[in-house]
Amino acid sequence: MNKKVFSYGNTKLPKTTGIFNLCPQKDCPSNKLGLCDISNKCYAKKAERLYPQVLPFRNRQKRFWLKIRSLYLKNEQKAIDTFLNRFYTDTPTKKLRYQLKALRFNESGDFSDQLDISIMESIAKELAYSDKKTYTYTHRIDLDFSKCKYLTVSGSGFMVHNEFNTVPKKSQLKGIYCPMDCKKCSLCLKPDHKTILCRLH
């Protein structure tokens, strides 16, 4: 039996949101390219350091994504079907399988290139047919997101469908602040061109 490559919910996200990382933080393309301005505050890095099970799980996700990339270049629909089959079958219960509402890409890591964006957009389009939202965050200001119609992208420090900025913990800037509880907020799921502020914590 294949080991799971999806997780569902966490302390901030509802269980009805699936989570998939393209790679662990240690392999993060944005960090390696110097595009991440909060590398020393990275929560993904902290999780990989503190919890022994996190890095092996994210490495398993990375290996699965590399297989999807390879398959996508040969047969796009088969790659999308393979990915979504795991999205549904990895759920811990059949009940949750039918309750899924969203897919979040990347608690850790980022896009490695334009191909990642194309695959993610194809997945998002397929999920949209069943009214499921797909969203992600990125520091990759050097990539092109103009063809993303179904995938909602929040640029870290720059606008795509939204802009997501980290600010000091005691920031008094005026704006829309992330409540740091996705169970009662859906700002990042909607392509509303909002600038969202998140206090470092």
Our count of domains for the chain comes to: 1
- Confidence (pLDDT) at 48: 84
Report which of 149, 132, 108 is spatially closest to residue 186, judged by C-alpha positions.
132
Is 1 domain-assigned?
Answer: no
Is 87 domain-assigned?
Answer: yes
pTM of the entire predicted model: 0.94
Is 2 domain-assigned?
Answer: no
171 Cβ contact partners less than 8 Å away, ≥ 6 residues apart: 197, 199
* Longest Cα separation, the chain: 51
- Confidence (pLDDT) at 1: 56
- Phi and psi based region of residue 26 (left: phi greater than 0; alpha: psi -120 to 50; beta: remaining): alpha
Is 21 domain-assigned?
Answer: yes
Domain of residue 135: give its range: 7-199
CB atoms within 10 A of CB 54: 19
Tell me the mean pLDDT per 10 residues along the chain, length 201.
Answer: 90 96 95 88 80 94 98 98 98 96 96 98 98 97 98 97 91 90 94 94 69
Contact status, residue 4 vs residue 88, Cβ threshold 8 Å: no
Cα dihedral 184/14/58/201 (nearest 10): 30
Cα 165 vs. chain centroid, distance in angstroms? 16
- Confidence (pLDDT) at 171: 85
Query: Taking the CA of residue 142 as centre, how many other CA atoms within 13 Å lie in the half-sphere pointing to its CB?
Result: 10
Is 121 domain-assigned?
Answer: yes
- Confidence (pLDDT) at 168: 86
- Confidence (pLDDT) at 26: 92
**The token pair that represents 111 in the structure block:** 């896009």
Contact status, residue 16 vs residue 132, Cβ threshold 8 Å: no
Question: What is d(CA 68, CA 3) in angstroms, rounded to the nearest whole number?
Answer: 16
